[in-house]
Amino acid sequence: MTTITLEVPDELATRLAPMRDRIPDLLSIALDLFPAEMPLTLPAANKIHPAFDEMIDFLASGPTPKQIVAFKVSPAAQVRLEELLDKNREGGLAEEETAELDVYEQINFVLLLLKARARPLLSSPN
């Protein structure tokens, strides 16, 4: 195994600390989501979507496989997603709303991957 040293902001280090031994898995998932040929555009640190914050806070808490499988974004995030989907069906999304809908799609994809990996652990003996 190769050792890599990273410099990260203090806030990120604090959030990663509880997941220290899972960082290789997180990096692997991130690389699957954002292949090298795909341009990576991330929002400014102060503009991270609240639903991403919810997901990151949840993951930083060190959830069990059962909690991962049961996780859902907040009711407020679900309501906002429904609003965007309704508006999208009507063909009336502004550019910012389209970007926001893309964020929900990314979150959904990550959660699907996490839940798919966690589900087999529910039936395995500890």
pLDDT at 5: 86
Question: Does the pTM exceed 0.85?
Answer: no
One digit per residue, pLDDT tens: the chain, 126 residues? Answer: 888 888 888 888 888 888 888 888 888 887 777 667 766 555 555 567 888 889 989 999 999 999 999 999 999 999 999 999 999 999 888 888 988 899 999 999 999 999 999 999 888 665
Nearest to 115 by CA among 63, 49, 48: 63
Q: From CA 46, how far away is CA 72, in angstroms rounded?
A: 23
Of 4, 15, 17, 32, whose CA–CA distance to 113 is shortest?
32
Q: Three-state secondary structure along 21-75? A: HHHHHHHHHHHHHCCCCCCCCCCCHHHCCHHHHHHHHHHHCCCCHHHHHHCCCCH
